[in-house]
Structure 1
Amino acid sequence: MLLLGLLSLLGTVSAGAINDFTCRSTTHPNPVVLLHGLGATWYEDLNYLQAFLAASDFCTFASTYGAYDAFPFLGGLKPINDSAAEIASYIRTVANETGASKIDLVGHSEGGFQTLYVPKFEAGIADLLDTLVAIAPPTHGTTFAGLYDLAYVLGNVSRTLVGEALDILGCPACNDLGPDGPAVLRLNDGDPIVQSGNRLTVIASTDDELVTPTQTAFVDETGVRNEYVQATCPLDPVGHIGEAYDLNVWNLVLNALEDTPEREFVCVLGSPGK
């Protein structure tokens, strides 16, 4: 019902479309690839945001990454490196099929992390990308609301054991994205995260209960726009999951994609979405 109501307010999708390689937009020539979060899929997480952007005349594309063949209903579980290779392949496919010279990338949670990780480590991908928007990325690792603090009860030895357990249980990405996780350490290796020619906006919520502390989402590099939802919409109590479904967040994403950060919009109350 939310999607139907939204589309009725925005009007009929014209040039914009969802997962349609024939789509071309004169107002937004860069196709947008959206990356879901941990445990989600392309059709459950950023699907409403994808429809919002399509209705705003963007050509949008999404695919589930990091899912095991025997259980395709939960994506993003595989090691970050493995998922990054899948995502890079999909970006190349979108570029080849649409003929676009540049792609924009929008990700939520783990997808936000991949929005930073893929252009840095997958050869040639940064050259295909233009605007990057990372929603609630665990850029510097997350304590998962303090849960990971327990992993250090016995120091680094217990953290290693927790990581090995997560790998065995089928969620290497959970290990990768925790404090001192392999992918987190690699991303923050001292070299710039944002690659030449790419423009990054990071969107976070002060009420995010999973990417904690919340400021760890931000990328402290010249030219990066780091913003809390509440800086624009102070009454929005949106939580981590809710950031994918929040109209205020969608408008901030739209501002980033259109490079109109000062564009004003009417804030809604939002939902904690925890």
Structure 2
Amino acid sequence: MLTARQGPLPLRALPALLALLTLCLALPAGAPAHAADRAAARNPVVFVHGYNADPGVWGALRGDLRAAGYADAELFSFGYDTHLSVNEVLAGRLGAYVDQVRRETGAAKVDVVAHSFGSLVSRWYVKFGGGGATVDRWVSLAGPNRGTSTAWACALWDQACRDMTPGSYVMRNLNGGDETPGAVKYATFWSNCDEIVNPDDSVPLTGAANTPVGCLKHNDLLGDDTTSAAVRAFLAS
């Protein structure tokens, strides 16, 4: 320990002292840098709502993702006319929207979270519209991935309903061959009390992480805390 009689610090000791001071000043900045790295590595999320719905259905899940660290600038909701054709119109529009998100964020890929009919729109984009190269993770909440008999009720006058019927052109092509093609990571969440998707097991896909959520109504998957936590875990995997 220096005393008054020992005099000033020798000049030869200054470089070591300056190096130690520089290291100490750099340490507090380490944590924010790591957080920035994690945020930079995270994909933006594109939400795709279901039939007769709009982007407002994503309020709960968007809030949960914000609480988990996502910024509003990383969360995007694709809004569209749900009465149009999956393959002829909507998948292409979704592809254009994803390209716009990628330009705005600088991200190479996005994660897609779809509900109900939105699962078919986004699956067609992934399988046939170039989305295999731009989608990293794909999530289907209560998607009628093999069709639903309830769609017959509106199939006479509505193209989207016809696309959702079992055995339709869209169903035959989406489920022909590999149901989960490419390097995309797939996950589905389904309920055994779904009043819209019939049969209930229309949702799971071969090659996906298929998670039963218990007895929930079709739209309840959008606000269920357990389902939300599982979706967040999958996006972080």
**Structure 2 length normalisation: TM-score?**
0.77
Structure 1 residue 216: Cα displacement:
1.2
What TM-score, normalized by structure 1, do the two folds share?
A: 0.67
* Aligned equivalents of 1:49, 1:201: Cα separation in 2: 16
Q: 2:178 aligns with which of 192, 205, 208?
A: 192
Distance in structure 1 (CA, Å) of the matches to 2:224 and 2:40: 24
Runs of 4+, deviation exceeding 4 Å: none
Match of 1:157 in 2: none
Q: Which amino acid aligns with 2:62?
A: Q
The match for 1:97 is 104
In the superposition, relative to structure 1, how do residues 39 and 126 fare at CA in structure 2: closer, same or farther (>3 Å)?
same
For 2:199, which of 192, 210, 213 is the aligned residue? Answer: 213
Paired residue secondary structure (1:209):
coil
Deviation, 1:63, is: 2.2
Match of 1:61 among 42, 53, 76: 76
Shift of 1:238: 1.4
Partners in 1 of 2:62 and 2:86 — Cα distance?
A: 23
d(CA) in 2 for partners of 1:181, 1:241: 24
Shift of 1:47: 2.6
Q: Is the 8 A contact 1:116 1:193 kept in 2?
A: no
1:27 deviation in Å? 6.8
Which residue pairs with 2:42 in the alignment? 29
Match of 1:262 in 2: none
2:173 and 2:188 mapped to 1: Cα distance? 19
Deviation per residue, 1:205-236 (Å, 9 max, x gap): 11111111111111123xx2111013xxxxxx
For the residues of structure 1 that align with 2:145 and 2:133, how far apart are their CA atoms?
A: 22
The letter of the residue matching 1:199 is K
Amino acid at match of 1:139: N
Find the aligned partners of 2:178 and 2:185 in 1 and give their Cα distance: 13
Find the counterpart in structure 1 of residue 189 from structure 2: 203
CA contact (8 A) 2:50 2:118 kept: yes
Provide the aligned C-alpha RMSD in A: 2.1
Aligned partner of 2:229 in structure 1 is: 251
Asked if 1:122 corresponds to 2:129, the answer is yes
5+ residue gaps, structure 1: 1-23, 68-75, 152-161, 231-236, 260-274
Q: Which of the numbers 75, 87, 94 marks the counterpart of 1:87? A: 94
Quote the residue 2:61 is aligned against.
Answer: 49
**Match in the other structure for 1:141:** 147
In structure 1, how many angstroms separate the alpha carbons of the residues matched to 2:220 and 2:134?
Answer: 30
1:225 aligns with 2:209: yes
Question: Which amino acid in the other structure matches residue 39 of structure 1?
Answer: N
Which structure is higher in helix share? Answer: 2
How many residue pairs get matched?
198
The secondary structure found in structure 1 opposite 2:149 is coil
Structure 1 match to 2:84: 78
